[in-house]
Amino acid sequence: MKKPAFLLLLTAIICLTANGQRKIINLPDLPGYVTMKCDFHMHTVFSDGNVWPSYRLSEALRDGLDAFAITDHIEYTPKKAYVPVDLNAGWKIIESLAKENNIIAVHAAEITRDMPPGHLNALFIQDASLLAVDSVYNAIEAAVKQGGFILWNHPGWKSQEPDGIPKIYDLHKKLLKNGWINGIEFFNDSEFYPLVLEWCKQYNLAVMGNSDVHGIISESYPEPEYTHRPMTLVFAKERTSAGLKEALFAGRTLVWFGNTLGGREEYAKPFFYRSISVGKPYFDNLRNIYFEVTNKTDIPFYLVNGPAGAPASITLNANAITRIVLSKKVTAPLVYDVKNIMTGDSAVLKAELKF
Ligand code: ZN
């Protein structure tokens, strides 16, 4: 007997959800906070992306994300001859599916304008269609009135800033003064903008890292070259939508892509110290002492510029224990620059190995 079409569809949906598996990403929580792995920038067929919204959810689950936002362009819908224009379509399609899959979906849209102000994602909105107005100032205001978090995307994107260097224009100053820019992308796909780290300190904003994916994640970040997409690590009081929103407005984030972490020192430092543990010396002889450093995370740490007489550089590989042999002549504290944790335009985290 032929099954009715709706039954076939139901079977397909059940199979899809029953097989959903979430990858484990090994990263530490911070004291008092849970670390949420997030991507707040991606497109679907409802603007210029190539996939259906529920596929974004499957990808996010597979990648081990806790939260994600579909951010289809408001002003750019090139598939409208084939796909109806509905600025809230992504949200409508994933809202209940996300709940069933224990992943947090954020209702969002991308305000897409010339520079200034460029492209801005409005996160945690209620109705994207209210952002479809002529004046960009009014569009941002409409998002803010809905409780929106405004994220300035790829500020140094070469299509808008040919030299690749982000700049704060008068309009940005006005928006910042109003509190209408709440975060800036440091990572957009594989591009990154070190200046953003300085601005986020100066204006107390969240440092963000997102994929801005239009195609398929596994093709954009293929293994083994990539182990993960660019992501924003959010330190939330609880793993809920409200917890996520509170943490973002408070600016408690770091970004992670490749082997680079970026963000403010106040989060980077405890993150590093929660990632590693330094064991007591397990052996010594006349010349040296021997100890181990365990790195329980998926991120290797590259320590350089060690004190005189100590190893000049130490690599703490991901999910590995590193043996260190230290001359007994070394009395200085073992302070290193952690080369792959950026805390400013030209600054990296300084950290000490203490046993
Ligand atoms: Zn975008």
Count of residues in the chain: 355
Residue 160: what residue type? Q
- pLDDT confidence of 355, banded at 50, 70, 90? confident
CA–centroid distance, residue 132 to ligand 1 (Å): 16
CA–centroid distance, residue 240 to ligand 1 (Å): 24
pLDDT at 2: 47
Q: Are 45 and 87 in contact (CB under 8 A)?
A: no
CA–centroid distance, residue 60 to ligand 1 (Å): 17
- What does the radius of gyration of the chain's CA atoms come to, in whole angstroms? 22
Calpha distance 139→171 (Å, rounded):
14
Calpha distance 187→211 (Å, rounded):
8
CA–centroid distance, residue 43 to ligand 1 (Å): 7
Rounded mean pLDDT of 233-240? Answer: 98
Q: Are 253 and 272 in contact (CB under 8 A)?
A: no
pLDDT at 160: 96
High-pLDDT (> 70) share of the chain, %: 94
pLDDT at 34: 98
CA–centroid distance, residue 4 to ligand 1 (Å): 39
pLDDT at 328: 97
pLDDT at 1: 43
Rounded mean pLDDT of 181-189? Answer: 98
First-to-last C-alpha distance (Å) of the chain: 71
CA–centroid distance, residue 109 to ligand 1 (Å): 9
- pLDDT confidence of 4, banded at 50, 70, 90? low
CA–centroid distance, residue 213 to ligand 1 (Å): 8
CA–centroid distance, residue 225 to ligand 1 (Å): 23
Residue 311: what residue type? P
CA–centroid distance, residue 292 to ligand 1 (Å): 44
CA–centroid distance, residue 154 to ligand 1 (Å): 9
Rounded mean pLDDT of 19-26? Answer: 86
> What's the token pair of residue 183?
């975060």
pLDDT of residue 15 exceeding 80, the answer is: no
Q: In the chain, count of helices (H) and strands (E)?
A: 9, 19
User: Tens of pLDDT along 58-90?
Assistant: 999 999 999 999 999 999 999 999 999 999 999
Calpha distance 205→4 (Å, rounded):
52
CA–centroid distance, residue 339 to ligand 1 (Å): 30
Average pLDDT of every residue of the chain? 95
Q: Which residues share a beta bridge with 187?
A: 192, 209
pLDDT of residue 166 exceeding 60, the answer is: yes
pLDDT of residue 163 exceeding 80, the answer is: yes
- pLDDT confidence of 14, banded at 50, 70, 90? very low
Calpha distance 8→192 (Å, rounded):
45
CA–centroid distance, residue 112 to ligand 1 (Å): 8
Instruction: Give, to the nearest 10 degrees, the angle between helix 89-100 and helix 53-62.
Output: 40
Neighbours of 90 (CB within 10 A): 30
User: Tens of pLDDT along 266-297?
Assistant: 999 999 999 999 999 999 999 999 999 999 99
- pLDDT confidence of 195, banded at 50, 70, 90? very high
User: Tens of pLDDT along 98-135?
Assistant: 999 999 999 999 999 999 999 999 999 999 999 999 99
